[in-house]
C-alpha cells in the first residue's frame, strides 16, 4: 500500500510550510481561449494560464510532484503560491483530462473518472480542486458528494463565467480561492466555490447564465466566505466524520434509469403516464408547484397515474420548483401525492434529488422500501434535517447508573475519561459546538 505523502515542512527557499493540492482539470470555460471557431479548450493550463501570474507562482525552484491516473504514476510540473494570510504556501500540479470535457455533455462516466482520480491520489495530497464547466457544475458536485463516503479531505469544485484569458474574468478569484481553501482548511466535504463563497456542493444550483455570482445555496448557508481579512469559515455547518473508516468511492450512478419531469398547468395524465412507462425506468424526480402540489386531474386521474407507477416499483420523489423552501403535505393536493406513495424530498434541489436517487438505485441489495426511506433522510447534508438527535441522562441517580456498570465497563469508562484532555479530535467530535479557536490544529493544517 502506498504511504501518505509528507507535505508539512518548509518548501525550498521559504520560511513557511507548504500544503499540496491536486488540480483536476476536466474542461469548461475557465480553460478556454479564443479561436477562429470561437472558444475552445486549451491544454497546458499550468504553463499558459497560471505560471505568468504572481498570485499563482512565487518563482520558487521547480519541483516535480507525483500523481496517479488509471494506475500509471505521473510526474507533474508544479507551482507554488506566495505565502497566504495563514503563512502557508500551496504547492499544486494539474492533471488534465484527455480530452477536456464540455460540462453540458458530462455523464456518470465523467463523474466516475473524477471520483476515481481523487481516490487514486487521496493519500498524496492535502486537498483537491476540480475545474469544471458551470452548466452542470451543481450536478457534478451533488453526484460526487454521494459517490464519496467517509471523505476526510476537502474537494472543491470551481469554474468561471469567463475564460481566465479574458480581460474581465472571475476565473482568477475562483481558482485562487479554491486553492487556498483546499490547502489550508480541513473541510471534509465536496464543496463548490464561486464568487468568494464556499457552498456545500449538494445544496447548490446555478442561478445565472452570465453573472459572476452564478451559484446559490438557497436552503443552506455558505460554509465559508472570503473577505479582505481572510476566509471566514462557518465551522458549525461543516460536516465531520463520525466514524473511523476508509475513504471509499461508489463507481457507478444509475442515471440511465431516472427521469425528471416538471409539472405545468394543464399537463395531461397521458403525458405523465408515457414518461412513467419508459422501458426500464426506475425513478422519477417530480418538480411540483410551491410546497409540493400537483393537479390531481379530472376524477383524480393524474394521481392515479402516480399510484400505478409506484405499484410497479418506480420511486417518485417530489421536489419544489421554487428556489427557496421545501415540499410538505400542507395542501390537499400534496397530501394526495403522499398517499399515492410519492416520496417528499423536503428541500432537496433537483440536482441533489436526481443524483441521490441515482446513487441509491446503484447500491446493491437495497429494496424499494430501503431506497424510499433513505431518500427522505439526509445522507451527506443534502437536505435539512427535520428532527435532530437529542440526548438525556438515564433515569435515577448517578450512583444507580454507576452501580449497573460491570468491572470491565468501569475500567473502560475511567480510561476514556482520562484520555479526553489528550485528544482534541475526540473532544471536537463530542463537543462540535466549541469555538474553533479551542482546536486550531484540527481546523488548520
Give me the active site residues, please: 29
**Shortest CA distance to 45 belongs to which of 18, 63, 26?**
26
Establish whether the linkage from the previous residue to 99 is cis, with ω within 30° of 0.
yes
The 10 Å Cβ neighbour count of residue 107 is: 12
- Please give the sequence-ordered ranges of beta strands (E in DSSP) within 246-394, or none if there are none: 248-249, 258-262, 283-288, 315-320, 343-344
* Owner of C-alpha cell 450512583: 399
Report the distance separating Cα 427 and Cα 429, nearest Å.
5
**At residue 116, what are phi and psi to the nearest 5 degrees?**
-70, -30
Report the distance separating Cα 173 and Cα 214, nearest Å.
14
Report the distance separating Cα 163 and Cα 169, nearest Å.
6
**CA–CA distances in Å: residue 93 to residues 23, 88, 175:** 6, 17, 13
Report the distance separating Cα 443 and Cα 445, nearest Å.
7
Report the distance separating Cα 15 and Cα 256, nearest Å.
52
DSSP 46: I
Cell numbers at 212, concatenated? 459572476
Report the distance separating Cα 365 and Cα 363, nearest Å.
7
**Shortest CA distance to 103 belongs to which of 6, 7, 5, 25?**
25
Amino acid at each position: 500500500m502506498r504511504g501518505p505523502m509528507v507535505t508539512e515542512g518548509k518548501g525550498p527557499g521559504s520560511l513557511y510550510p507548504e500544503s499540496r493540492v491536486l488540480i483536476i482539470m476536466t474542461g469548461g470555460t475557465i480553460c478556454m481561449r479564443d479561436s477562429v471557431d470561437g472558444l475552445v479548450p486549451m491544454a497546458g493550463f499550468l504553463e499558459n494560464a497560471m505560471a505568468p501570474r504572481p498570485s499563482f507562482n512565487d518563482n520558487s525552484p521547480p519541483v516535480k510532484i507525483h500523481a496517479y491516473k488509471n494506475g500509471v504514476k505521473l510526474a507533474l510540473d508544479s507551482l507554488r503560491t506566495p505565502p497566504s494570510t495563514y503563512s502557508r504556501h500551496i504547492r499544486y500540479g494539474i492533471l488534465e483530462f484527455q480530452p477536456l470535457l464540455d460540462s453540458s455533455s458530462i455523464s456518470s462516466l465523467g463523474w466516475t473518472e473524477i471520483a476515481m482520480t481523487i481516490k487514486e491520489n487521496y493519500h498524496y495530497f492535502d486537498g483537491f480542486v476540480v475545474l469544471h464547466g458551470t452548466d452542470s457544475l451543481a450536478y457534478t458536485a451533488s453526484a460526487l458528494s454521494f459517490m464519496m463516503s467517509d471523505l476526510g479531505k476537502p474537494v472543491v469544485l470551481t469554474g468561471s463565467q469567463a475564460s481566465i484569458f479574458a480581460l474581465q474574468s472571475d476565473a482568477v478569484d475562483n481558482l485562487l480561492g479554491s486553492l487556498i481553501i483546499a490547502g489550508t482548511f480541513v473541510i471534509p466535504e465536496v464543496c463548490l466555490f464561486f464568487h468568494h463563497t464556499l457552498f456545500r456542493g449538494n445544496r447548490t444550483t446555478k442561478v445565472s447564465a452570465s453573472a459572476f455570482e452564478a451559484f446559490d445555496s438557497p436552503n443552506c448557508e455558505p460554509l465559508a466566505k472570503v473577505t479582505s481579512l481572510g476566509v471566514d469559515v462557518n465551522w458549525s455547518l461543516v460536516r465531520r466524520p463520525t466514524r473511523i473508516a476508509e475513504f471509499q468511492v461508489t463507481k457507478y450512478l444509475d442515471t440511465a434509469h431516472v427521469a425528471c419531469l416538471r409539472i405545468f398547468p394543464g399537463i395531461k395524465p397521458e403525458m405523465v403516464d408515457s414518461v412513467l412507462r419508459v422501458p426500464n425506468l426506475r425513478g422519477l424526480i417530480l418538480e411540483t408547484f410551491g410546497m409540493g402540489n400537483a393537479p390531481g386531474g379530472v376524477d383524480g386521474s393524474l394521481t392515479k397515474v402516480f399510484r400505478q407507477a409506484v405499484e410497479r416499483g418506480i420511486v417518485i420523489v417530489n421536489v419544489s420548483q421554487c428556489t427557496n423552501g421545501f415540499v410538505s403535505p400542507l395542501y390537499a393536493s400534496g397530501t394526495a401525492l403522499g398517499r399515492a406513495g410519492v416520496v417528499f424530498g423536503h428541500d432537496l434541489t433537483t440536482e441533489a434529488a436526481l443524483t441521490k436517487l441515482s446513487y441509491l438505485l446503484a447500491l446493491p441489495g437495497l429494496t424499494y422500501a430501503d431506497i424510499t426511506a433513505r431518500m427522505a433522510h439526509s445522507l451527506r447534508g443534502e437536505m435539512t434535517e427535520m428532527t435532530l438527535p437529542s440526548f438525556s441522562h438515564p433515569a435515577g441517580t448517578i450512583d444507580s447508573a454507576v452501580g449497573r456498570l460491570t468491572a470491565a465497563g468501569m475500567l473502560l469508562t475511567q480510561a476514556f475519561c482520562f484520555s479526553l484532555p489528550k485528544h482534541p479530535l475526540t473532544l471536537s467530535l463530542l463537543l462540535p459546538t466549541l469555538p474553533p479557536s479551542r482546536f486550531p490544529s484540527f481546523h488548520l493544517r
